[in-house]
Structure 1
Amino acid sequence: MDTNITLTPSQLLWLLQLVSPALPVGAYSYSEGLETLVEKGVISSADSLQNWLVAELRYGAIRLEMAIIVRAYAAVQNRDFQALSSWNLWLTALRETEELRHSSWQMGRSLMQLLSKLKPEIQLISDRVDNNCNYSVAVAIAVAVTDIHLEAALLGYLQSWASNLITAGVKLIPLGQTAGQQLILALQPLFTSAVAEIMHLEDDDLSCCSWGLSLASMQHEVLYTRLFRS
């Protein structure tokens, strides 16, 4: 991994804005199947939540989302809009459940609408992507246009992803706020190692093992009570 990541003050502030939980894209309303796992007792403590997140980082679909960010980032910088659209469709086809697919589309659509108002030059790119833009592709567009260091963007994306799920876990299990922050800190070494690996993945090596997440997502819609949309 590049140990000399540099960002201008403007780039750093833009990245912090993109990964902020205050960004109005609706990430807080999704648990990615976590609510099902808590309901069934699969996850019931900080340790079991950490084990689930570690498994996702090592084998799950989050790795492919980051791999697509790498490819979409390059496509934007090379003005290769055909490749950008193709990778977006590839990621859509990867989604194994309707809820996971629609959550990615909804967040992607919300982010693209926001970006078109914050940075109008992005509108020209969004017009070249399928209407159902996945969230990770929208993030890639946002960081590529502003030339943010790719590895910094991936670290920010992982931090945002984990923070959202840990916040959901704090509410659902429940956990204390301190336990949630300790968990985020404990995952940091895995963030850096995951980014270093994913940066060098070849197209033929793009794979994941996410059947546990998929089954939890499928069962979520029939829970008796729900706090989250998926």
Structure 2
Amino acid sequence: MTNTALTLMQVCDSNFPTGAFSHSFGLETYIQDGKVYNTETFAGWLNSYLHGVLCYNDGLASALLFDGCDVFELDRMLYVSSLSRETREGTKRIGIRMLELLIQLNPSDVLENYRTKIKRKTAFGHPALVFSLFCKELGIAKSECLSSYFYNSISSMIQNAVRGIPLGQTDGQRLLFSFQEEIEKALIKIDLLKIDDLGTSPPGMELSAMLHEDLNVRLFMS
């Protein structure tokens, strides 16, 4: 196994401290409303999250970056298209934290430039873009970058569901394994999307993220 593959495994590990464990991105609203309460109902939510949110936002932005689109234009589009304040802020926190960690692991002018723009408040920071820039620097192919990012995102949400619903650890691992096929479907779907599709999200997902800040008891920040 190459050093590049090992580095990618490290970044995608659930212990990589980006702060994603603090964010449910609206899942907690569904839990408190009684709509997500076991493995089956969470699997349905996770499917919508992957194909409805990640595909049209994080995944499509990553693909467009690999295809030559300007990272800062994508950064702006992702930020302004997110209607929920908590989602915007949560995504930004994760992105900035990931950027700082990756610069420590693999310093590069590209990542440093992104950090400089964020510090000057001319960019916001998004984990999908940070991760994609990092992968491009390492020479990782677009498909491998996207599948790794999706895996990491799904794994993080499952770990949060284990705490929030709660689910059993074994159920969570079975679900993660079963979503390998869904990730492959998501990659095929992204190949058919255009830049005009960027920022699309299911209304229910957006509303749940907006309503989260008014929950009486919260385990997660978003």
Query: TM-score, normalised to structure 2's length?
Result: 0.90
Q: Describe the shift of the 1:96–1:61 C-alpha distance in structure 2 as closer, same or farther (beyond 3 A).
A: farther
- For residues 167-206 of structure 1, what are the structure 2 equivalents within 5 Å? 167-206=159-198
Correspondences of 1:35-184 after superposition (within 5 Å)? 35-75=28-68, 83-121=70-108, 122-126=110-114, 127=116, 130-184=122-176
Determine helix, strand or coil for the equivalent of 1:215: helix
Q: How many residues align?
A: 217
Partner of 1:221, secondary structure, is helix
Question: Are 1:61 and 1:208, in contact at CA under 8 Å, matched by a contact in 2?
Answer: no
User: What secondary structure, in the 3-state scheme, does the structure 2 residue paired with 1:60 have?
Assistant: helix
Q: Does 1:26 align with 2:14?
A: no
Structure 1 residue matching 2:161: 3-state secondary structure = helix
Deviations 1:155-197 (A, max 9, x none): 1111111111111111122111111111111111110011122
RMSD: 1.8
1:43-83 Cα deviation digits (max 9, x unpaired): 011000001111222323443211101122344xxxx7xx1
Whole-angstrom CA distance in 2 between matches of 1:57 and 1:113: 26
1:226 aligns with 2:213: no
Preserved contact between residue 72 and residue 123 of structure 2 (Cα < 8 Å): no
Q: What is the letter of the counterpart of residue 41 of structure 2? A: S
Higher helix share: 2
Question: Which residue identity lines up with residue 60 of structure 1 in the other structure?
Answer: V
| Runs ≥4 residues deviating over 6 A | none
Secondary structure at the counterpart of residue 214 of structure 2: coil
Stretch moving more, 54-63 or 149-158: 54-63
Partner of 2:24, secondary structure, is coil
Contact kept, 8 Å, 1:15 with 1:148, in 2: the verdict is no
Q: Taking every aligned residue pair, what percent have the same amino acid on both sides?
A: 26
Q: Secondary structure at the match of 2:150?
A: helix
Larger deviation: 63-72 or 40-49?
63-72
After TM superposition, give the deviation of residue 21 of structure 1 in Å. Answer: 1.4
CA contact (8 A) 1:61 1:210 kept: no
Alpha-carbon offset, residue 117 of structure 1: 2.0
- Per-residue CA distance 1:101-158 (angstroms, 9 max, x = gap): 0111111111111222222214443235644111111111111111111111111111
- Normalising to structure 1: TM-score of the pair? 0.87
Equivalent residue for 1:5?
A: none
Whether contact under 8 Å (2:25, 2:87) holds in the other structure is yes
